[in-house]
Amino acid sequence: MTPMINTLYLPELREMLANNDTQGLKEFCEALHHPYQTAEFMEGLTAKECWDVLRCADMSDRVDIFLYLPWEKQVEMFETGDPKEAGEFIAFLPPDDRVDLLNELPDEISERIMQMTPEEDRHDIQRLSQYDENTVGAIMTTAVAKITENLTPREAVEAAKKQAEEMETIYYLYVVDEEDHLRGLLTFRELICSLGKPDIKVSDIMERNLITIKPTEDREEASMLVAKYDVLALPVVDDEYHLIGIITHDDVMDVVLDEAEEDAQIAAGVSPLEDDYLDSPIHTIVWKRGMWLVILFIGAFLTAFTLNSYDEQLSKCIWLVIFVPMIVSAGGNSGNQSATLVITSLTNGSIHPYDVLKVLRREILIGLSLGCILGLVGIVYSLGYSSVNPGVPWYQVCVILPTTLILVVLCGSVIGAMLPLFFSKIGLDPALMSNPFVAGIIDVMGLVIYLHVAFFFLPGLH
Amino acid sequence: MTPMINTLYLPELREMLANNDTQGLKEFCEALHHPYQTAEFMEGLTAKECWDVLRCADMSDRVDIFLYLPWEKQVEMFETGDPKEAGEFIAFLPPDDRVDLLNELPDEISERIMQMTPEEDRHDIQRLSQYDENTVGAIMTTAVAKITENLTPREAVEAAKKQAEEMETIYYLYVVDEEDHLRGLLTFRELICSLGKPDIKVSDIMERNLITIKPTEDREEASMLVAKYDVLALPVVDDEYHLIGIITHDDVMDVVLDEAEEDAQIAAGVSPLEDDYLDSPIHTIVWKRGMWLVILFIGAFLTAFTLNSYDEQLSKCIWLVIFVPMIVSAGGNSGNQSATLVITSLTNGSIHPYDVLKVLRREILIGLSLGCILGLVGIVYSLGYSSVNPGVPWYQVCVILPTTLILVVLCGSVIGAMLPLFFSKIGLDPALMSNPFVAGIIDVMGLVIYLHVAFFFLPGLH
């Protein structure tokens, strides 16, 4: 767990800044284990002070430390910094990060910075910014180590060495022709093993059949491929099989963590937040939650409608009402369980939409078993309840409550499992549509079942 | 998305097996893009047939393909295979995978296999098996590429080359002394850049300040470190700083995916399943769900208890009952939203347990806003309801319903946000304890609020 803003070095840093102690600041930037830690100690500084400290460091340290500063601080530094300095600095940032950064800035600031950016980098930025937020293109980097197939292993090592400073990974060397068509992949491991073998070319040892992805595909698709094939990076190619970028394992890790968070929020009926909870404006959170609360609330009105249609019978038999929330929640809980099991299995690929009959059979068995268990607890309740409420017909309570519980839990389990499968089949994100709706639908269903069971065993009410 | 069991090559495979066509089978094992795909085509084979096919492949292909077979098939192959063949084969499997495999087998079978395993590997297996399931030790691998600090870059490349076949990654070379104490790390990137520089030793270019982890720590801690520092691997050291293994980025990816699934299941009140949904025995699922359903059901009995204490008043005013499930669900939904936002923020580290006041202030504002929004919808409902139910005092409905909604949503939001923080503070997993309990507590609270608001505005009922 990260500590609160770390103020340990803050006084020293401020003193060095005041004394213009360039050497001291440079040493600070180089001294710590990892740029992450240097960045952590700088969290208490203002955006301007951050520029002043970083200016003293070598460019590679400067980039590393900057990338580990909190996202809001990075944005603030670019918003308030000198456009010329920012424009020159941005040329050294990884292609994917700088696009994200520029997208976050107000248009006039990002334009001013872009004017100060070297032409080649500017083109690269423009090319990457065209991809939508959740696509492969938006998370890929264009800094790919490339070699040609006629090199010897020794020449390939030299070529990699030249690119080592700038590229995100040099452990996968992509083999391309003169027009940048992807021809193959040479892992550094393979390359090292072939060093010293005479008369060997890259084309003899490269892997030709590669798993690739298009820049317009969903970033989740890319992360699934990386997880499945355990690769360090995935090449991104266009329709003509030009190599235009790679997705690296650390980008994928961020995607996986992001998506898990989004799925959890969606399952709770919150439209995923773009920023951290504490950094999101109140009105944004109210909008992202309120939208769903209102939709679910309108759905819940169906329960009121249902109860209202039976109000005469209910007023004759008020003890029925006592158990309504309990029964509704038992159905909701079992439905939520099934929905979540099916959604997580769809996500990890262990269930497919066409497994519907297998899932149905299992959920009927599971729902019946769970219903019987709750039914047994229900009988104990009923006996207890009747004993302290002598006016209530105990034998009827003891039949109505367990019967209802069995049916409600059974239907809850089955509906909870089927809805995500159905949504997945018609091409909607099961996570998006299932949990909150499942709860609403099962609430109404639970009520209808309860009332019908009750009226069946209490014929006098009709 | 993976297809159903792929039967495309099944007839050919079976024919080759029948004809004892070793050469054909060997070619099949080598032909496809990636061992994952070869494994996919073998899914339809029995465990014995899998052995027969793999036996024809080179050992390195054999291992790769085997590791991509479904987990159940791997276990079945070891359960039913010849212990001698299994014991010899296991020596070639990665150290972490083979321990998982042996742990899954019945004791007498794993012992018989262990007797056939080369002594060195047997010791390694015994050492790794001592770690608990969710620790770093259980997912680390002992196959680490090691070098000593007095080597020149060229000698280091040679040393790496020798280890390239067996090690999980050679891109991080760990520098150790004669007693295996971890002294530093040399990335292959750094090594390549130093090739050709004269008079340089590994000790001059290695990174000395490393982020390390203990084998007894939580595997989630390791995955957070890898995600945070964007490293390929994390060295695992014991108390004396001996290098005993590494955690690689692909192991971490599996942990992250696993944990996300577990958290989702916990949030829905299901004890995490160890196997896939379709592979888990029905009674296991019933147990893992039933346990929670019963706990939540017993909690929900409080709602019945609450309603029962007001049954006289309710029977005088049956229209109050109509809105019970609607109000309870509004509170539950808003509480669930807050709880999930706080839990995901605790997980990603953007909220800390001591942020309680900040969160409280935000949730009061958010809860009030959301309450007012639902309150407005509630007024529309009330007017609609009263117009079709002329017997009901409309001005009272129009006051009671919105007032209740504001209070219920406010309290739901605040309690939903505070409970996970509280659990986290006292050292319990917030995900484990929060969502299902939040729902139960808020249900009861919603009822109490509703009834008290109602009785306040309907003094005749008391």
| Closest-CA residue of chain A to B287 | A370
Phi-psi domain of B349 (left: phi exceeds 0; alpha: psi -120 through 50; beta: other): left
What ipTM was estimated for this complex? 0.76
Boundary-marking domain end, from A205, A224, A248 = A248
Give pLDDT tens digits for B356-374.
999 999 999 999 999 999 9
Give me the domain span that covers residue B81.
Answer: 10-133
Question: Which residue of B182, B221, B326 is the best one to mutate when testing the A interface, meaning the one whose CB has the most A CBs within 10 A?
Answer: B326
Give A336-394 pLDDT, tens digit per residue. Answer: 899 989 988 988 888 888 889 999 999 999 999 999 999 999 998 888 888 888 877 87
- Residue B3 binned pLDDT confidence (cut-offs 50, 70, 90): very low
User: Which residues are bridge partners to B236 per DSSP?
Assistant: B213, B245
Any domain includes B300:
no
**What confidence score (pLDDT) does residue B322 get?**
86
Other C-beta atoms within 10 Å of B47: how many? 18
- At B361 the pLDDT is 95
* Best B96, B289, B359, B366 residue to mutate vs chain A (most A CBs within 10 Å): B289
- Looking at per-residue pLDDT, the higher value among B293 and A127 belongs to B293
Is A178 a domain residue? yes
Per-residue pLDDT averaged across B84-93, rounded? 87
Q: What is the pLDDT confidence band of residue A5, given thresholds at 50, 70 and 90?
A: low
Q: What pLDDT shows up at residue B271?
A: 86
Are residues B109 and B211 both part of a single domain?
no
Of A221, A248, A275, which residue is a domain's last?
A248
Q: Residue A183 above 90 pLDDT? A: yes
C-alpha A338 chain-centroid distance: 22
Tally the C-alpha atoms within 13 A of residue A12's C-alpha that lie toward its C-beta.
11
Q: What percent of chain A has pLDDT over 70?
A: 97
Assess if residue B229 is contained within a domain.
yes
B60 falls within a domain? yes
- Whole-angstrom CA distances from B326 to A351, A440, B45 are 34, 10, 53
Asked if the model's pLDDT at residue A104 lies above 90, the reply is no
Average pLDDT estimate for A186-190: 88
One domain, residues B359 and B450: yes
Q: Which residues of A touch B333 (CB under 8 A)?
A: 269, 292-293, 296-297, 436, 439
**pLDDT on residue A278:** 85
Residue B433 has what pLDDT? 61
In a shared domain, residues A36 and A162 = no
CB atoms B265 and A294 under 8 Å: no
Residue B255 has pLDDT above 80, yes or no: yes
Note whether B343 contacts A385, CB cutoff 8 Å: no
Per the CB < 8 A criterion, the answer to whether B402 and B380 are in contact is no
Q: How far is CA A276 from the centre of its chain?
A: 13
* Model confidence at B215: pLDDT above 90: yes
Same domain? For A340 and A436 the reply is yes
Residues A127 and A154 reside in one and the same domain: no
Q: CA Rg, chain B, in Å?
A: 31
Domain co-membership, B327 together with B356: yes
Residue A346's closest chain B neighbor by CA?
Answer: B1
Count contacts between A and B (CB, < 8 Å). 364
Q: Does residue B287 carry a pLDDT above 60?
A: yes
A157 and A90 in a common domain: no
- Same domain (yes/no): A128, A152: no
| Interface list for A 26-65 with B (CB within 8 A) | 32-34, 36
Distance separating alpha carbons of residues B84 and A91, to the nearest angstrom: 60
Q: Is A325 on the interface with B (CB under 8 A)?
A: yes
Name which residue leads in pLDDT, B460 or A74.
A74
- Contact list, A2 vs chain B (CB under 8 Å): 349
Residues B111 and B175 in one domain: no
Say yes or no to pLDDT of B461 above 70: no
pLDDT at B32: 72
How confident is the model at residue A461, as a pLDDT?
66
Average pLDDT over residues A392-415: 91
A163: CATH: 3.10.580.10
* Residue-level pLDDT at A6: 66
CATH classification at residue B410: 1.10.357.20
Average the pLDDT over B127-131 and give the result: 81
Confidence of residue B406 (pLDDT cuts 50, 70, 90): very high
pLDDT at B382: 86
The span from the CA of A185 to the CA of A207, in Å, is 5
Residue B236's pLDDT band (cuts 50, 70, 90)? very high
For residue A2, what pLDDT band results from cuts at 50, 70 and 90? very low
- The answer to whether residue A267 neighbours chain B at the CB level (below 8 Å) is yes
CB B360 within 8 A of CB B414: yes
Number of domains in chain A: 3
Task: Look at residue A271 and tell me if it is in a domain.
Answer: no
Task: Examine the domain organization and report whether A128 and A155 are in the same domain.
Answer: no
**Last residue of some domain: B263, B292, B323?**
B263
Residue A266 falls inside a structural domain: no
Q: What is the mean pLDDT of residues A113-126?
A: 84
Residue % of chain B over a pLDDT of 70? 97
Task: Mean pLDDT check: name the lowest of A180-194, A401-415, A423-437, B240-254.
Answer: A423-437
- Predicted confidence at residue B16, as pLDDT, reads 87
Residues A175 and A121 in one domain: no
Q: Note whether B41 and B6 are within 8 A (CB).
A: yes
Same domain for A359 and A447, yes or no, is yes
pLDDT of B299-332, one tens digit each? 888 888 888 888 888 888 888 888 888 898 899 8
Give the model's pLDDT for residue B1: 34
Q: Please compute the mean of the pLDDT values over residues B415-429 and round it to a whole number.
A: 87
Which of A211, A282, A330 minimises the CB distance to B365? A282
Of B277, B297, B344, the CB nearest to A330: B297
Summary mean pLDDT of chain A: 86
pLDDT at A3: 39
**pLDDT tens-place string over residues B14-34:** 888 888 888 888 888 887 767
Say whether A268 and B311 touch across the interface (CB within 8 A).
no
Say which DSSP state A41 is in: H
**Which of B108, B82, B53, B72 has the alpha carbon at shortest distance from B281?**
B72
What's the CATH number where A107 sits?
Answer: 1.25.60.10
Name the 3-class secondary structure at A141: strand
Q: Please give the residue of chain A at the shortest CA–CA distance from B356.
A: A278
> Is pLDDT of B460 > 80?
no
